[in-house]
Amino acid sequence: MVSAKSKASNKVIFVFLLIFAVAILYPLLFILNNSFKGKFFISSDPFSLPNGETFAGLTNYANGLMKTGLLNAIGWSFFITIVSVVFLVLFTSMTAYYVTRVKSVYSNALYYMFVFSMVVPFQMVMFTMTSLADRFHLRNPLGMCILYLGFDAGLSVFMFAGFVKSIPLEIEEAAMIDGCTPLQTFFGVVFPILKPTAITVAILDAMHVWNDFLLPYLVIGISTKYKTIPVVVQMLVGSNGNKDMGALMAMLVLSIIPIIIFYLTCQKYIIEGVVAGAVKG
């Protein structure tokens, strides 16, 4: 039987989590609410619900799509996000397997280089990075995927390495006795076991790449056809007060929907993958 003290503790936790959930959801609801209001009413009364006078229907959505070319940006964002995530999951899992199973000074040094890269802020290397992007002709969607592979590899290798340490060596030894090469052992035995961590890495990296503004802005810019969603949405901010807040709110809603769907579809794997990687890491 649950004690009174336990019930009181559960109520406190529930209230705290409820407040936290409201704090997280409120900005999203604020954007959604204002996306259906006329642009002149958003600044004057941003917290009220749309009514007969302020309700704009889908006008903001139509204006935003016309002004920004968001549909084209969604296509390029999908391409960059999907290819980047595939690169990250494939290459960083193989790297983590190598640095975990091959015990040498070089593999240890490589692992700690990846770990150190997690604490290096992007702002420290962004000017050098843009110079390298020019030199190696990376100012294109595929080049962006290569850059994201470099920037996000540290966390991905760290998470995969933590999970690989929990896999018994006997499983791999049995596969090698059956005649499997190291690559066959990895893709046929190890990688399927890494599924929870692979999905977690994919979710975290997909959300980062999809929402990132600074790297696409610096590398691709606003004068090419390869603009991503954050870049075209930022164009609605305008200058000298010339901005369409209604269209901006509407485009923010459209840009959020795909990543929310992706997250809700895969959320059950997040805690499992993070915990599995952290405990052994």
Per-residue pLDDT of the chain (281 residues; tens, 9 = 90+): 556 667 778 888 888 999 998 898 888 889 888 888 887 888 777 888 888 788 888 888 888 888 888 889 989 999 999 999 999 999 999 999 999 988 889 988 999 999 888 888 888 888 888 888 888 888 899 999 999 998 889 999 998 998 888 888 888 888 888 888 888 889 998 999 888 888 888 888 988 999 899 899 988 888 888 889 888 888 877 644 457 788 888 888 988 888 788 777 777 766 665 555 444 44
Of 218, 270, 210, 249, the closest CA to residue 82 belongs to 210
Name the DSSP letter for residue 36: T
The pLDDT of residue 271: 61
Domain assignment present for residue 46? The answer is: no
CB of 96 within 8 A of CB of 157? yes
Residue 127 placed within a domain: yes
Domain count, the chain: 1
Say whether 240 sits in a helix, a strand or coil: coil
Residue 26 domain-assigned (yes or no):
no
Per-position DSSP letters for 71-131, written without gaps between them: HHHHHHHHHHHHHHHHHHHHHHHHHHHHHHHS-SHHHHHHHHHHHHHTTS-GGGTHHHHHH
Q: Is 242 helix (H, G, I), strand (E, B) or coil?
A: strand
Is there a domain that residue 215 lies in? yes
Give residues with Cβ within 8 angstroms of 60, minimum separation 6: 35, 36, 37, 39, 244, 246, 247, 249, 250
pLDDT value of residue 280:
47
Q: Residue 251: give the domain boundaries.
A: 57-280
pLDDT confidence of residue 169: 86
Report d(CA 95, CA 105) in Å as an integer. 15
Residue 50 lies in a domain: no
From the list 228, 207, 204, the residue with the least C-alpha distance to 216 is 228
229 belongs to a structural domain:
yes
What is the pLDDT, as a whole number, of residue 93?
Answer: 94
Domain holding 246: CATH number? 1.10.3720.10
Q: Is residue 133 part of a domain?
A: yes
Q: What are phi and psi of 40, to 5 degrees?
A: -80, -20
Domain assignment present for residue 38? The answer is no
Coil vs helix vs strand at 37 = strand
Residue 84, CA atoms < 13 Å, CB-side half-sphere: 31
Given a contact cutoff of 8 angstroms between Cβ atoms, the answer to whether 220 and 144 are in contact is yes
Stretch (H or E) spanning 41 = helix 39-44
* CB of 270 closer than 8 Å to CB of 200: yes
Provide the pLDDT for residue 145. Answer: 93
